[in-house]
Amino acid sequence: MSEQRAESLELRIGEGHDTHRTVAARPLLLGGVHITDAEFGLDGHSDADVLLHAVIDALLGATGQGDIGEWFPNTSNEWKNADSAALLDTVLQSVLKRRWRIVNLDCTIHLERPRMSTWKPRIRNRLAGLLGVAEDVVNIKAKSGEGVGPVGRGESISADVVVLMSRAVD
């Protein structure tokens, strides 16, 4: 009879948040998806993808690696108009190198418009692909500002992300 070794898991939770102002004449990117029915985009040093920025911060937080501003400072021309999917990949490679894996990712996008019902499945698929996980590991929710505050007035979009990470402990 072969001896089985019980594997212990280390679990960590990370939280990420980002907010950007809406601006005219810029594409709206959410979760690496170009939202074509938006008449505005987001203001930022990079491509201003609030959802990917929140995912990056959640991954960094769970694995104790700081925050997006430390990795990709908005004071550096190196990151001007950067593709947030590429930034996410850089962070993901660091996370994987440390033997962490994503158990699940729960995302909330706060925006007044456009409506996200048709976009959520595309964002979920794209985010799962970027992270190399099954779609059922990723959840995307969208919440209206109900006309209240900067989100409700359409002045900004924000995103919140919670991630559960695990890794085997020897």
pLDDT, tens digit (0-9, with 9 covering 90-100), for 126-138? 999 999 999 999 9
pLDDT digits (tens, 9 = 90+) for 103-146: 999 999 999 999 999 999 999 999 999 999 999 999 999 999 99
Residues 6+ apart with CB under 8 A from 12: 62, 63, 64, 100, 164, 165, 166
pLDDT value, residue 75:
87
Any residues with CB less than 8 A from the CB of 144 and at least 6 apart, and which? Answer: 110, 111, 112, 152
User: How far is the C-alpha of 165 from the C-alpha of 41, rounded, in Å?
Assistant: 31
Q: What is the pLDDT of residue 106?
A: 98
Domains of the chain, start order: 9-169 (3.30.1330.50)
Whether residue 1 has pLDDT greater than 50: no
Candidate from 33-37, 75-79, 125-129, 156-160 with smallest mean pLDDT: 75-79
Q: Taking a C-beta distance cutoff of 8 angstroms, is the pair 154, 144 a contact?
A: no
Tell me the C-alpha distance between 36 and 39, whole Å. 8
Per-residue pLDDT at 4: 53
Please provide the average confidence, as pLDDT, over all residues in the chain.
Answer: 94
pLDDT computed for residue 91 by the predictor: 98
pLDDT score of 78 more than 90: no
State residue 25's pLDDT score: 87
